[in-house]
Amino acid sequence: MAKKDKEDPRSSIYEERRPWGGFRRYTHNQVSTVKIITVNPGDILSLQYHHHRDELWVALDSGLQVTLGNQVWKPKPYEEIFIPHGTTHRMAGVGDRPSRWLEISFGEFDEDDIVRLEDHYGRK
């Protein structure tokens, strides 16, 4: 379960160069859930927050729009966005093709931990 004093996981990202290039390690021996989420052009996820998990999003494609609290912006590919639990957030597809992001959830993952404030599809 995420704690209120949880450290921004971006400070724990490990990067290593290798002769062939390198890698970024986002988690190491932690309780986490990893997804790649795709949003279609013109579609939008619910405005939501979570009680029990923090999330780290990594934009994989252009064509996304993030809402985080009162901020709204279009992240660049590979931009890393930390969402502490209790923070309102959403993602929208604003490009001309489906766009994806990597989502790493920290803490015990439960889809019932979604508190929807707005939803274009009528979900609660």
Identify whether 68 is part of a domain.
Answer: yes
Identify whether 9 is part of a domain.
Answer: no
Q: How many domains does the chain have?
A: 1
pLDDT band of residue 2 (cuts 50, 70, 90) is very low
Give the integer Cα–Cα distance in Å for 82 and 59.
11
In this predicted structure, what is the pLDDT of residue 6? 62
Query: For the chain, how big is the Rg over CA atoms in Å?
Result: 15
Identify whether 8 is part of a domain.
Answer: no
pLDDT, averaged across the chain: 91
Residue whose C-alpha is closest to residue 72's, from 92, 99, 50, 55: 92
Q: What is the pLDDT of residues 76-118, one digit of tens each?
A: 999 999 999 999 999 999 999 999 999 999 988 888 899 999 9
In this predicted structure, what is the pLDDT of residue 5? 47
123 or 44, greater pLDDT: 44
CA dihedral 26, 74, 22, 7 (to 10 degrees): -30
User: In CATH, what number is assigned to the domain containing residue 42?
Assistant: 2.60.120.10
Q: Computed from CA positions of residues 19, 23, 27, 32, in that sequence, does the dihedral angle turn out positive or negative? A: negative
Identify whether 25 is part of a domain.
Answer: no
Domain carrying residue 49: 30-118
Give the integer Cα–Cα distance in Å for 77 and 13.
17
Identify whether 10 is part of a domain.
Answer: no
Average pLDDT over residues 15-20: 93
- Write down the H helix ranges in the chain: none
Identify whether 18 is part of a domain.
Answer: no
Give the integer Cα–Cα distance in Å for 2 and 50.
10
In this predicted structure, what is the pLDDT of residue 10? 86
Identify whether 71 is part of a domain.
Answer: yes
Identify whether 24 is part of a domain.
Answer: no
